[in-house]
C-alpha cells in the first residue's frame, strides 16, 4: 500500500473533497498488483452483480411497489433512510432519503432491522414501518416500534405509532415482523429466554398493537444454531401455495457461521408452538468458494412481473468481519423444492452476473465509491486515528481494526468541506462535542452537521499529510490536549509537537488484499 505521505505536491490552499477523492483513487490503484475491476460496465441490460451497497447494508428490507424498488437497512443511528429505484441495480446509486428522525431519548438510538408492510389501517391501506430501537447509552433497552405512513407512498411521510410489546412479559425484544394468516395478523420477534435468544409470536389486534401474550416457537437446539452464541432471530414469514414458513437467522452474527434456518407451519394455529416444525439443517449458509460469509437477516420480494421469488440478505466479504457496517446487501432469486420448501441455493459470488428480476431491464451502474481510509498519526509511527467506546483516540491497535476505517464524504454542512464517516458504524461521524472529538450518530440538526464538518488543510507539520480544521470553530484543529484527542487552537506560535499531533497521513485500504491476508 502506498500511503498519501508519498505525495509531495499538495497545494498550500485548502483541499476540496473532489481533489482528495481523485488523489485517493489514484493511490489505491497504484497500490494494487493488478488493475482494478472496471465495475459493471461489461454487463448487459437486465443483469447485475451483488452487492447493492458496499457498506452499511445490514438487516435489509426490500420490496417492489408501484413501479419501484424500495430498500432500507440498519442505520445504528436515530433516523431511517430509504432508497428508491425503478430497477434493482439502480438502488446502488439511488440517493438515500431520510423518512423519519427520532428525538425521544427513550427510543432515540441504535435503529436496527427495518421492515415495512402495506396493511389495512383505520383510514385505509397504510405502510407500517417496523423497527428496533433503544436508548443512547447501550443496547440493553432495545424494543420493537412501528411508524405509520400518511398515505400509500413507501417514502412517507411517517409518524410514530407506538411500541409493540407483550404486556405480560415486557422484555428486550428485537427484529419485529408480521405474519398474515387467515385474515389475521401475528407479530414475530426475538427475545432472550435464559441462555437462548428465541423466536416468539403474538396475536395483533391492529398493525401497532399486540392483543395477547407471546409464545416462544423456536429456540436454538442444533449445533449450527449455536456458533458464537445460542441465537434464533430475525424471523420473517414466507408463504407459497398453501404452505406457511418462517425463515430465521441462527448463530451469532459476529461469526461467518451466521445462517438461515426454516420453520414450517404443520398445524392450523400459528400461536401453538407444537404447530411449527423446525428443519434440522440450515437452508442458507456461507460459501467459501464464493467468498460470502455470514449470510442472514433476510427478507423476500417479488419480481416486477410477479413470477419470481427473490431473497434479500446481508453478508460479509471476509471471515474476520462481524456485526458491523461492513455487511452489504445482496439479492438473488430462489426456487421451490418438490416437497414445497424453498430452495435458496448458495450465496452468489460478487463476481457473478445475475439476471435481474423478471420485468426489470435495468443497467447496472458503476457507482463512484470513495475508498475506505485510515489516518496514520504523524506524531506516532504505526499509530492510527480510531474510535473506542465512541471516543476518538490515536493508538497502535488501529492498524488492522475496523474501528480505524473511515470514509471521506461531502461535508454535512457544506459540500465543499468534508465529513468523516465510520465504516463499521455507518451514519456515525467524527464530531466535536464541547471541543472533545467523538464518534456520534447523525441527528439531522444544523448544529450536528456543522460540528461534524471539517476543512482538510495541508498537514501543519508536514504538508504531504492533512490536518482537520473545525468547520464550526475555525482555527481549531483535531489535535491532542492533556493527552486526549480534542480541538486545539494552533497558531503560528504552536510548537512542533503540537503540529505533529494535528497532522495525519491518509492511507487508502485495499480490502481485497486485506481479506486475502486475513483468510
Q: Which position has the grid cell 437462548?
A: 196
Q: Which of 241, 367, 259 is nearest to 311 (CA)?
A: 259
Catalytic residue among 102, 148, 233, 443: 233
Residue 305's contacts (CB-CB under 8 Å, 6 or more residues apart) are 357, 358, 359
Whether 233 sits among the annotated catalytic residues: the reply is yes
Burial 437-467 (b: 16+ CB within 10 A, else e): bbbbbbbbeeebbbbbbbbbbbbbbbbbbbb
Question: Can you tell me the distance from the alpha carbon of 210 to that of 201, in angstroms, rounded to the nearest whole number?
Answer: 10
Q: Which position has the grid cell 435495468?
A: 362
Question: Can you tell me the distance from the alpha carbon of 480 to that of 494, in angstroms, rounded to the nearest whole number?
Answer: 12
Per-residue cell: 134: 433503544
Task: Identify whether the C-beta of residue 420 lies closer than 8 Å to the C-beta of residue 408.
Answer: yes
Omega into 98 within 30° of 0, i.e. cis?
A: no
Question: Can you tell me the distance from the alpha carbon of 437 to that of 393, in angstroms, rounded to the nearest whole number?
Answer: 9
Q: Which position has the grid cell 438473488?
A: 332
Question: Can you tell me the distance from the alpha carbon of 270 to that of 119, in angstroms, rounded to the nearest whole number?
Answer: 19
Question: Can you tell me the distance from the alpha carbon of 57 to that of 74, in angstroms, rounded to the nearest whole number?
Answer: 7
Omega into 51 within 30° of 0, i.e. cis?
A: yes
Q: What are phi and psi of 401, to 5 degrees?
A: -105, 140
Question: What are the C-alpha distances in Å from 424 to residues 213, 306, 316, 364, 428?
Answer: 36, 36, 12, 26, 9
Question: Can you tell me the distance from the alpha carbon of 392 to that of 401, in angstroms, rounded to the nearest whole number?
Answer: 14
Per-residue cell: 96: 438515500
Catalytic residue among 54, 59, 115, 148: 59
Q: What is the DSSP letter of 273?
A: G
Whether 59 sits among the annotated catalytic residues: the reply is yes
Q: Which of 221, 277, 224, 276 is nearest to 255 (CA)?
A: 224
Cβ neighbours of 265 (radius 10 Å): 20
Question: Can you tell me the distance from the alpha carbon of 222 to that of 283, in angstroms, rounded to the nearest whole number?
Answer: 13
Residue 7's contacts (CB-CB under 8 Å, 6 or more residues apart) are 23, 27, 464
Question: Can you tell me the distance from the alpha carbon of 62 to that of 171, in angstroms, rounded to the nearest whole number?
Answer: 28
> What is the DSSP secondary-structure string of 243-258?
EEEEEEEES-TTSTT-
Question: Can you tell me the distance from the alpha carbon of 60 to that of 298, in angstroms, rounded to the nearest whole number?
Answer: 7
Classify 275 as helix, strand or coil.
helix
Classify 451 as helix, strand or coil.
helix
Hey, which residues are catalytic here? 59, 233
Amino acid at each position: 500500500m502506498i500511503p498519501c505521505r508519498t505525495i509531495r505536491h499538495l497545494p498550500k490552499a485548502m483541499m476540496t473533497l473532489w481533489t482528495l477523492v481523485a488523489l485517493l483513487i489514484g493511490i489505491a490503484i497504484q497500490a494494487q498488483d493488478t488493475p482494478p475491476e472496471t465495475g459493471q460496465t461489461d454487463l448487459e441490460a437486465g443483469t447485475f452483480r451483488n452487492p447493492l451497497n458496499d457498506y452499511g447494508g445490514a438487516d435489509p428490507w426490500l420490496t417492489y411497489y408501484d413501479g419501484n424498488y424500495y430498500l432500507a437497512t440498519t442505520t445504528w443511528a436515530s433516523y431511517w433512510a430509504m432508497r428508491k429505484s425503478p430497477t434493482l441495480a439502480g438502488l446502488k446509486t439511488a440517493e438515500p432519503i431520510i423518512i423519519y428522525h427520532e428525538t425521544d431519548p427513550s427510543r432515540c438510538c441504535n435503529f436496527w432491522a427495518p421492515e415495512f408492510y402495506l396493511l389495512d389501517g383505520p383510514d385505509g391501506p397504510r405502510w407500517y414501518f417496523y423497527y428496533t430501537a433503544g436508548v443512547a447509552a447501550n443496547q440493553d433497552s432495545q424494543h420493537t416500534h412501528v411508524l405509520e405512513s400518511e398515505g400509500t407512498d413507501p417514502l412517507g411521510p411517517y409518524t410514530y405509532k407506538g411500541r409493540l410489546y407483550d404486556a405480560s412479559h415486557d422484555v428486550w425484544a428485537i427484529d419485529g415482523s408480521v405474519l398474515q394468516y387467515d385474515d389475521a395478523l401475528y407479530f414475530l420477534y426475538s427475545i432472550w429466554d435464559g441462555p437462548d435468544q428465541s423466536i416468539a409470536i403474538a396475536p395483533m389486534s391492529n398493525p401497532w398493537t399486540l392483543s395477547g401474550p407471546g409464545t416462544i416457537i423456536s429456540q436454538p437446539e442444533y449445533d449450527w444454531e449455536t456458533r458464537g452464541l445460542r441465537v434464533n432471530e430475525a424471523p420473517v414469514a414466507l408463504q407459497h401455495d398453501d404452505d406457511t414458513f418462517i425463515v430465521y437467522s441462527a448463530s451469532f452474527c459476529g461469526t461467518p457461521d451466521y445462517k438461515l434456518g426454516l420453520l414450517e407451519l404443520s398445524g392450523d394455529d400459528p400461536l401453538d408452538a407444537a404447530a411449527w416444525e423446525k428443519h434440522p439443517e440450515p437452508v442458507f449458509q456461507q460459501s467459501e468458494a464464493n467468498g460470502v460469509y455470514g449470510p442472514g437477516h433476510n427478507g423476500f420480494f417479488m419480481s416486477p412481473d410477479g413470477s419470481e421469488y427473490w431473497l434479500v440478505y446481508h453478508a460479509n466479504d471476509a471471515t474476520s468481519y462481524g456485526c458491523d457496517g461492513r455487511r452489504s446487501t445482496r439479492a438473488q432469486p430462489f426456487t421451490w423444492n418438490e416437497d414445497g420448501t424453498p430452495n435458496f441455493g448458495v450465496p452468489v459470488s460478487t463476481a457473478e452476473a445475475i439476471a435481474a428480476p423478471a420485468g426489470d431491464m435495468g443497467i447496472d451502474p458503476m457507482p463512484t465509491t470513495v475508498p475506505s481510509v485510515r489516518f496514520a498519526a504523524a506524531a506516532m509511527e504505526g499509530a492510527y486515528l480510531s474510535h473506542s467506546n465512541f471516543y476518538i483516540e490515536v493508538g497502535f491497535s488501529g492498524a488492522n481494526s475496523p474501528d480505524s476505517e473511515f470514509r471521506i464524504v461531502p461535508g454535512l454542512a457544506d459540500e465543499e468541506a468534508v465529513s468523516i464517516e465510520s465504516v463499521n458504524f455507518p451514519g456515525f461521524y467524527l464530531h466535536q462535542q464541547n471541543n472533545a472529538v467523538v464518534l456520534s450518530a447523525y441527528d439531522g440538526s444544523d448544529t450536528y452537521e456543522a460540528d461534524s464538518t471539517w476543512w482538510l488543510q495541508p498537514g501543519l507539520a508536514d504538508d504531504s499529510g492533512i490536518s482537520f480544521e473545525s468547520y464550526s470553530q475555525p482555527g481549531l484543529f483535531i489535535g491532542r490536549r492533556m493527552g486526549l484527542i480534542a480541538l486545539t487552537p494552533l497558531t503560528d506560535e504552536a510548537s512542533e509537537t503540537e503540529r505533529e499531533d494535528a497532522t495525519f497521513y491518509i492511507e487508502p485500504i485495499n480490502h481485497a488484499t486485506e481479506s486475502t491476508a486475513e483468510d
